[in-house]
Structure 1
Amino acid sequence: MTAIDTAIRAAAADIELIGVSKAYDAKTVVIPLLNVALRPGEFTVVLGPSGCGKSTLLQMIAGLERVSGGKILIGGREVQDLEPKHRGCAMVFQNYALYPHMTVAENMAYSLKVAGVSKVERTERVATVATMLGLADYLSRKPGQLSGGQRQRVAIGRAIIREPGVLLFDEPLSNLDAQLRHDMRVELADLHHRIGATSVFVTHDQVEAMTLADRILILNKGRIEQFDTPKAIYHHPASVFVAKFIGAPPMNILAVVGDGSTLRLADGQVIANYAGKGNFQLGIRPEDIVVNSGGPIHAQICYREDLGSHEILEANIAGEQLRIATPFGAEIDTTSTLSLSFPRARLHLFDGETGRAMSHTFDETEVTPASVRVYQ
């Protein structure tokens, strides 16, 4: 572990947002009210669709956007009224934001030069960070002579050379191609493991979120839908929004009606034995659906995608779309109606009105084809 690794790990600070809001005017409210606490040394990914407020949230932490209300604490110190340079944060941008006329070494050392750090120390820190990021052979080059991945590493190096307590990433991988994105995810995960900085990473890419995060903060229209570990979010989504946002393909959501003993689709097919009454939304992930000849649930195949390792089948069930991920090597006849089973342990139940997850217990009595009837 280098001196920079040690310094960053020691500086890692917690972040707390208390009643934070952001509005540009009465009609343009980006974040209505937000309360969240991020642990020191944690890698938090802020995930959500375009326009949900995730970049605005990051910029408020950095001080690039003023809060409309509430408090931001970093390391227990209120910072919402401080200038960015006094907050102890370093930021990595989507567009790299490198000085084109400076070399790699000069770009990384610039903030230290402005801060009055001696040339000897600047040179030592640049060498350390360059070795850490695989840039030692490129220090004399200018950004225009580098690949996209190399430029992003320079931007990261420029951030960590300051030994910040908080690292902020604003969609840093979105300009890279698929292979470079994968490589940079691996490098970022390794870097975080080494330096232990409190990191906040904004993205709309669920793969980046699932592979990098200690915890994922999912935003929807400026509100927190769920804040939990990747595994918990995938297996226990708190809402229909989360269920449909996480997963490739996403979770299937079907409208069902509870009659006090069963849950039925619009065409009368019984999905599960259930004591509740009312309108619900039922979720099941594509990989959890079992395709077999004796399954009690029937769907009509519409389309198939062969991905080599497995197939994605799209079917019509009670007028709704159903996606099915087949296991590797499975031989499935897709020329006729599919017979399916939905394992009870893999079902998710959501409120029909709010879309929020409900606690539930399904009767484990097997649903058989005899249970299926079509309402006239």
Structure 2
Amino acid sequence: MNAIDPAIHIAAANIKLQNVSKTYGKLNIIPNMDVEFRAGEFTVVLGPSGCGKSTLMQMIAGLERVSGGKIVIGDREVQDLEPKERGCAMVFQNYALYPHMTVFDNIAYSLKIAGFTKAERQARVEVVAKMLGLTDYLARKPGQLSGGQRQRVAIGRAIVREPAVLLFDEPLSNLDAQLRHDTRVELAELHKRIGATTVFVTHDQVEAMTLADRILILNKGEVEQYGTPKEIYHHPASIFVARFIGSPPMNILSVSGDGTALRLADGQAVVDSHLIGDFHVGVRPEDIVVRNSGSRPGLRAQVRYREDLGSHSIIAADLAGETLRIATPFGADAPDLNVLSFSFPSDRLHLFDTKTGRAIHGALKEKT
């Protein structure tokens, strides 16, 4: 561990949003929100465009004023403090580097403004440059760097201040696919080394699932779910989460309970159940079991098309007037038939309320 790491570990602070809201006139962007980002964790704020992700980030950083509530970083209320007083450092989507300055000067600029001596600036920048693989580029200017290198300079400029909180606002969206992957790996390794509390905004579920200790999923400014990637994937709290996470997303089917089973519109029984009324049932494409022609009959659906993606195949089928997607693993023999027979493992089914869209837990019994 290098000289800068212990200081950043010590500086890590939790972030509490207590009844925080943001409005623009009559437009309510974020209703009252209560959430806590734990010290030292990597939290990803995930959601579609316009859900309030960047607004939330900017309120934490102090670039937007809250309309109501409190923001507490560590043991200090910060909602009325200027950005420079909050102990946060932010990395933007567009890097925001000074084009006329060298890499060294870009990284050292905030230290110079803060009154650090030339020797102190030199020592800190050298440590950060080594950490980020930028030692050989300190004399270059941003225009002489690749997109990934410029992003690392922006990160270096942020962490050189030893902040209590690191904020990333969609920092990888300008990179191509391979560079996004490589930079994700670098960010994950960097977080393990310095341990600063990190909040990362994205609309990309792959970034969220691979980087996060915890994911906060937003929908129209409301918290849909807050948990670990595994919790969110395997136990979605709502239909919105179930459909937003996963590629392809979870299948959501309309069913009716008659007291003996939950049935599709065509009468096929999905699972034994004592429930009565209308519900939605969810099942992940990879959890569906395709039956061979010699096994006992299961659910049946009309095949519409197949997609071979190399690592796996996706079968799209018409099931009781709804589209069902089935993922078959690499090497599996998916029957080349127009009509498929398959089953849903009862322990992998998810039940949702039709009115609220929220998950209903413990209502499905094992099928015998």
Using the size of structure 2 for normalisation, the TM-score is 0.98
1:30-179 superposed matches below 5 A: 30-179=29-178
Compute the displacement of 1:120 (Å): 0.7
For 1:145, give the aligned amino acid: Q
The alpha-carbon deviation at position 334 of structure 1 amounts to 3.1
Q: Structure 2: any 5+ residue segments left out of the alignment?
A: none
Give the Cα separation in 2 of the matches to 1:36 and 1:19: 9
Asked whether the 8 Å contact 1:301–1:334 carries over to 2, the reply is no
Superimposed CA distance per residue, residues 274-321 of structure 1 (whole angstroms, 9 cap, x where no aligned partner): 111111010000000011133410111111111112101111111111
Distance 1:149 1:303 in 2: 39
Aligned equivalents of 1:169 and 1:355: distance in 2?
31
Name the counterpart of 1:323: 325
Contact 2:13/2:165 (<8 A) preserved: yes
Q: What is the distance in 2 between the residues matched to 1:309 and 1:169?
A: 32
Shift of 1:365: 3.5
Q: Does the residue aligned with 1:51 lie in a helix, a strand or coil? A: coil
Structure 2: distance between partners of 1:168 and 1:230: 19
Partner of 2:8: 8
Q: How far apart, in 1, do the equivalents of 2:312 and 2:32 lie?
A: 43
Task: Report the residue type matching 1:338 in the other structure.
Answer: L
Give the 3 Å change call, closer, same or farther, for CA 361–11 of structure 1 in structure 2.
Answer: same
What are the equivalent positions in structure 2 for 1:122-271 lying under 5 Å apart? 122-271=121-270
Alignment RMSD (CA, Å) = 0.9
1:334 equivalent in alignment to 2:336: yes
SS in 2 for 1:97: coil
In the TM superposition, residue 361 of structure 1 has moved relative to its aligned partner by: 4.0
**Equivalent runs, 1:335-350 vs 2, <5 Å:** 335-350=337-352
Question: What TM-score, normalized to structure 1?
Answer: 0.96
Displacement after TM superposition at 1:226 (Å)? 0.5
- Matched residues, percent identical? 72
- Number of matched residues? 365
SS of residue matched to 1:322: strand
| Paired AA for residue 130 in structure 2 | T
Q: Distance in 2 between matches of 1:80 and 1:341?
A: 53
Quote the Cα distance in structure 2 between the aligned partners of 1:239 and 1:334. Answer: 34
Q: 1:3 aligns to what SS in structure 2?
A: coil
What displacement does 1:56 show? 0.3
Q: Secondary structure at the match of 2:247?
A: coil
> What amino acid is aligned across from residue 298 of structure 1 in structure 2?
R
Q: How far off is 1:257 after superposition?
A: 0.6
Query: In 2, are the aligned partners of 1:254 and 1:282 still within 8 Å (CA)?
Result: yes
Distance in structure 2 (CA, Å) of the matches to 1:170 and 1:127: 26
How far apart are the structure 2 equivalents of 1:37 and 1:246? 22
C-alpha distance in structure 1 between counterparts of 2:336 and 2:79, whole Å: 58
After superposition, what is the alpha-carbon deviation per residue over 1:340-376, rounded to whole angstroms, capped at 9, x for unaligned?
Answer: 110001100001111100013434344xxxxxxxxxx
* One-letter amino acid of the counterpart of residue 252, structure 1: N
Q: Aligned partners of 1:198, 1:299: CA distance in 2, in Å?
A: 48
**How far off is 1:327 after superposition?**
1.6
1:100-141 alpha-carbon deviations (Å, 9 max, x no partner): 011100100000011110011101111110000001111111
Name the counterpart of 1:374.
none
Residue 35 of structure 1 deviates from its aligned partner by 0.3
- Work out the CA distance in 2 between the residues paired with 1:357 and 1:169: 31
User: What is the one-letter code of the residue matched to 1:21?
Assistant: S
SS at match of 1:326: strand
Deviations 1:74-106 (A, max 9, x none): 011010000000000000000000000111001
3-state SS of 1:355 partner:
coil
Once residues 334 and 352 of structure 1 are traced to their aligned partners in structure 2, the CA distance between those partners, rounded to angstroms, is: 35
Does 330-339 or 79-88 show the bigger shift?
Answer: 330-339
- Is the 8 Å Cα contact of residues 53 and 219 (structure 1) preserved in structure 2? yes
Deviation at 1:333, TM superposition (A): 2.3
Q: Which digits, 9 at most, give the CA deviation of each residue in 1:155-178, with x for residues without a partner?
A: 000000000000000000111111
- Aligned equivalent of 1:355: 357
Q: What is the identity, as a one-letter code, of the residue corresponding to 1:127?
A: E
1:19 corresponds in structure 2 to: 19
Aligned 8 A contact 2:346 2:367 in 1: no
Inter-partner Cα distance in structure 2 for 1:306 and 1:37 = 42
